[in-house]
Amino acid sequence: MGVIIINFKAYEEGFGKRGYELAKATEEVSKKVDDYLAIAPPILDLPEFVSSLSIDIFAQHVDAVNYGSNTGRITPEMLNEKRAKGSLINHSERRLRLADVDFIVSKFRELGLTSIVCTNNIPTTAAAAALSPDYVAVEPPELIGSGIPVSKSEPEIVENSVKSARDVNPSVKVLCGAGISKHEDYVTALDLGAEGVLLASGVVKAKYPKAALEELVGLR
């Protein structure tokens, strides 16, 4: 069984009716496979999805702040109150300082939330693993949205990221992302030692998202 987390990002397709349809399709597909499927929708959709779906819902971002004078920020406690499962942290499109990542991971641990720290190469994967998040997701930025799967074009990044993370902290699980869209990409990632994948456009921007998701998990 592998892990598949779908980041809706802020694509036009990630909002409104289409976004909910994809979320519902993910729930339906999750019931047909042994894999763990979860989504990270836009923050404004999160409360609705949590209340109406049985799958886990992650935030796309969280800020390294406590309650207080922090206008426009999202605190870990807010996500906990809204019953989010956890959050992506330090995505390449929303970078954070290492100290901020450390703050969030520690706070998530206190709150019982799941942390997914995104990295871009092997050294940063090792550094992130030292903070003891639940997951590290390695995504070379140049391959994000490219349609070129990291698991095939740069398999050494996945394999060595898994090794470096385990050398630092064996309990940290490694996901890979960037360009993942097909079942063979997913299987290759698992064969390279990853626990699963973090992906976005391969499903979210597909003409038929549910069909793309079914293909990804091997139902087609």
Q: 2-35: per-residue pLDDT in tens?
A: 999 999 998 865 566 788 999 999 999 999 999 9
CB 188 within 8 A of CB 148: no
pLDDT of residue 194: 92
Among residues 91, 154, 195, 214, the one annotated as catalytic is 91
The number of domains in the chain is 1
Is 139 noted as a catalytic residue in this protein?
A: yes
Residue 133 sits in which domain range?
3-217
| CB contact at 8 A, 68 and 35 | no
Cα–Cα distance for residue pair 136/173, rounded to 1 Å = 6
Question: What pLDDT, on the 0 to 100 scale, is given for residue 192?
Answer: 87
- Which pLDDT score is estimated for 182? 86
Q: Residue 119: beta bridge partners?
A: 138
pLDDT digit string (tens) for the chain, length 220 residues: 899 999 999 886 556 678 899 999 999 999 999 999 999 999 999 999 999 999 999 999 999 999 999 999 999 999 999 999 999 999 989 999 999 999 999 999 999 999 999 998 889 999 999 999 999 998 876 555 555 555 556 678 788 888 999 999 999 999 987 677 788 888 888 988 999 999 998 899 888 999 999 999 998 7
Using DSSP, state whether 197 is helix, strand or coil: strand
Q: What is the pLDDT of residue 180?
A: 77
CATH assignment of the domain containing 210 = 3.20.20.70
Chain Cα centroid distance, residue 148: 18
66-90 burial: b if 16+ Cβ within 10 Å, else e: eeeeeeeebbbbbbbeeebbbbbbb
State how far the Cα of 77 lies from the Cα of 168, in Å rounded to an integer.
Answer: 28
Catalytic residue among 13, 139, 159, 215: 139
